[in-house]
Amino acid sequence: MLARIYALVIKEFLALLKDRATRVVLVGPPIIQLIVFGYAATFDLNHVPYVVYDEDGGGAARQLLAHFEGSPTFRIVGRVSREEQIAPLLDNQSALVALHIGPHFSRDLLLHRPASVQVLIDGRNSNTAALALNHVSAILAAFNLQWMKEHGWRAPPAQPELRAWYNPNLVSRWFIVPGIVALLTLVVTLLVTGLSVAREREMGTLDQLLVTPLRPLEILIGKALPGFLIGGLEAAVITLAVILWFRVPFKGSVAALALGVMLFLLAVIGIGLLISTLAATQQQGLLGVFLFLVPAVILSGFSTPVSNMPEAVQWLTRVNPMRYFLVIVRGVFLEGADMTTLWPQYWPLALLGAASLSAATWRFRKRL
């Protein structure tokens, strides 16, 4: 039986790798995507373009603006001298923020009165806008502290100290880039397994396989193993790149991650094979891959937190292997999570793998 499966695996590998286009598709895009997405995927703001409308021109206003100029988060794109000039700049997205300092800003401050700064912001991307407002508040707070100290104002009754665990500088890349391991492994594994049975069926070679002494289960194992090996290899290479190239700290154990990768691959392969056995044609197979892949990525917590979803959708994400694997990857990388803490992620993955693989086997048998 082992010899038969071995022969079949060799055949599957040859079928995958003899086609130059497939070879290129399996090797090139993951590497390019890792690099490009690794740099693209960030929620951290930098060089936020802003314009200044300073009606005051006094020393206090200059001091406040110096705080903005010194911040790497903001980049000045212009100064305007009339209020009407602000709207077009925000409209066509040349500036995200406009700071409007009123004519009495310096005078009010010197008279020990609160002085107001108007902050106009383009809210089209609400996340960017909220983060930019946070940064504006932080700069104002720094300016206020300095002003209070220098001019003998009463200090605020309470002042927070901010601290962040696991990611002290709150670099969002540390969160997103380990997620790319999950993303690309999912895509590659699904591509290898999702169309495999449908292709043979459409080309008529499945019938040839069936008349050989191979049993249905062996055929499925032969289809699953290449996905497992290729997916595992890609996951290892991408993980290494995330550590060595993107310098994301790796605090946990390799074993905890390896177990997670294996369980994740089994679940994804099971789903891929299930799609493949359900599809009559490759077109249907592709449709099935898309119908699984796209929600699996978007509703995984990769970019937007699962906890923000409504209850019903959160419940739906429980059948999404990527959701569990993302917690594992991020936990191992950033929090140093070990196997015991990750147990609540391991068993649903194992369950999903067992269920989808047996469903695929059952489907495949029945179709004969």
Partner 1 sequence: MKHRRLRALIRKEFLQILRDPSAIAIAFVMPAFLLFLFGYGVSLDARHVPVAVVVEQPDRDTEAFAAGLAQSPYFEPQRFTDMTAASAALQQRQVEGILWLRQDFSRHLLRGETAPFSIIVNGVDANSARLLEGYLQGVWQNWLQQRARSSGVPFVVPAVSTERIWFNPALRSRNYLVPGLIAVIMTLIGALLTAMVVAREWERGTMEALMATPVTLTEILLGKLLPYFLMGMGGMALTVALALTLFAVPLVGSLWTLSLSSALFLLVALGMGLLISTLARNQFVAGQLAVIVTFLPAFMLSGFIFDIGSMPAPVQLVTHVVAARYFVSILQTVFLAGDLWPVLLVNSAALAFMATIFLGLTWRLSRKRLD
3-state DSSP call for residue 51?
strand
| Interaction residues for partner 1, span 126-155 (CB under 8 A) | 126-131, 133-134, 136-137, 140, 143-144, 147-148, 153-155
From residue 109, how far is each of 81, 103, 112 by CA, in Å?
22, 12, 5
Burial of 93 (0-12, 13-18, 19+ CB in 10 A): exposed
Nearer to partner 1, 43 or 215 (CB): 43
Q: Which of residues 304-323 bind partner 1 (CB under 8 A)?
A: 304-305, 307-310, 312-313, 316-317
Q: x/- contact string, 254-283, with partner 1 (CB under 8 A)?
A: ---------------------------xxx
Nearer to partner 1, 282 or 356 (CB): 282
Q: How far is the CB of 196 from partner 1 (least distance, A)?
A: 9
Q: Could you write out the DSSP letters of every residue in 262-293?
A: HHHHHHHHHHHHHHHHH-SSHHHHHHHHHHHH
286 binds partner 1 (CB under 8 A): yes
Angle at 267 between CA 34 and CA 32, to 5 degrees: 10
Separation CA 164–CA 141 (nearest Å): 19
Closest approach, Cβ 245 to partner 1, in A, equals 14
Residues 233-252 that bind partner 1 (CB under 8 A): none
Contacts of partner 1 in 333-362 (CB under 8 A) = 334-335
Complex with partner 1: residue 38 or 222, whichever CB lies closer: 38
User: Which one of residues 92, 204, 211, 368 is an interface residue with partner 1 (CB under 8 A)?
Assistant: 92
Q: Which two tokens stand for residue 223?
A: 């289809």
22-41: contacts with partner 1 (CB under 8 A): 22, 25, 29, 33, 36-37, 39-41
Q: Is 14 an interacting residue with respect to partner 1 (CB under 8 A)?
A: no
List 48's β-bridge partners, or say none. 74
Whether the Cβ atoms of residue 333 and residue 248 lie closer than 8 Å to each other: yes
Q: Cβ(220)–Cβ(177) under 8 Å?
A: no
Q: Which residue's CB is nearer to partner 1, number 79 or number 124? A: 124
Parallel, antiparallel, or unpaired for β 48-54 and 74-79?
parallel
Beta carbon nearer to partner 1, 51 or 64: 64
Amino acid sitting at position 65: L
> CB of 265: closest distance to partner 1 in angstroms?
18
Q: Which stretch binds partner 1 (CB under 8 A): 122-130, 223-231, 255-263, 351-359?
A: 122-130
- Interface with partner 1, residue 13, by CB under 8 A: no
| Amino acid, single-letter form, for residue 100 | H
Max Cα separation, the chain?
95
Q: List the x/- string, 171-210, binding to partner 1 by CB under 8 A.
A: xx-xx-------x---x---x---x---x--x--------
Structure tokens at 286: 């592709």
Taking the least distance from each CB to partner 1, the nearer of 318 and 365 is: 318
Query: Which of 42/253 has CB closer to partner 1?
Result: 42
Query: CA torsion, points 177, 301, 230, 34, in degrees to nearest 10?
Result: -30
Chain positions 60 to 79 lying near partner 1, rule: CB under 8 A, are 64
Q: Given candidates 72, 152, 157, 213, which one binds partner 1 under the rule CB under 8 A?
A: 157
Which residues are paired to 49 by β-bridges? 75
Q: Are 349 and 321 in contact (CB under 8 A)?
A: yes
Which residue of 2, 162, 211, 368 would you call a contact of partner 1, by CB under 8 A?
A: 162
In total, the chain counts a number of residues equal to 368
Out of 70, 93, 247, 351, the only residue in the binding site for partner 1 (CB under 8 A) is 93
Both structure tokens of 128: 């960017």
Q: Report the residue number, 233 or 298, with the smaller CB distance to partner 1.
A: 298
